[in-house]
């Protein structure tokens, strides 16, 4: 499992890439990936292309990220597997996040 973040060339968007299990064991890494940026300052994208598992604690972390990003900035969840997209859909996260 690993969480990596990168800032876009224009400095506006932070991409957080999740690899492996996205669960409570990644909590501290995930927090560090976005907390270094001031609340409401950046657009966030969570790249789930290499995530192979997601549990309810990961969903809670996504909600914390959404709060950090503020309501006027939609957090985007990208590249999730069909299983992860289904979990997000069942939890109605498609109403809270942009899911690509």
Given this model, what pLDDT does residue 41 score?
83
Mean pLDDT within 61-70: 93
Q: Per the structure block, which two tokens stand in for 47? A: 């790249």
Mean pLDDT within 91-99: 94
* Mean pLDDT for the chain overall: 93
The pLDDT tens digits for 20-61 are 999 999 999 999 999 999 888 899 999 999 999 999 999 999
Instruction: Answer yes or no: is pLDDT of 100 > 80.
Output: yes
Spatial distance between the Cα atoms of 56 and 71, rounded to a whole number of angstroms: 22
The answer as to CATH 3.30.750.24 being correct for domain 2-99 is: yes
Given this model, what pLDDT does residue 1 score?
63
Report the percentage of the chain scoring pLDDT > 70: 98
What residues form DSSP beta bridges with 51? 20
């Amino acid at each position: 499992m690993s969480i990596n973040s990168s800032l876009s060339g224009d400095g506006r968007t932070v991409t957080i890439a999740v690899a492996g299990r996205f669960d409570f064991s990644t909590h501290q890494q995930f927090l560090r990936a976005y907390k270094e940026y001031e609340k409401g300052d950046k657009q966030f994208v969570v790249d789930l292309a290499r995530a192979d598992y997601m549990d309810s604690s990961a969903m809670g972390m996504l909600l914390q990220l959404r709060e950090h990003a503020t309501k006027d900035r939609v957090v985007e969840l990208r590249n999730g597997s069909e299983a992860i997209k289904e979990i997000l859909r069942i939890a109605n996260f498609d109403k809270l996040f942009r899911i690509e």
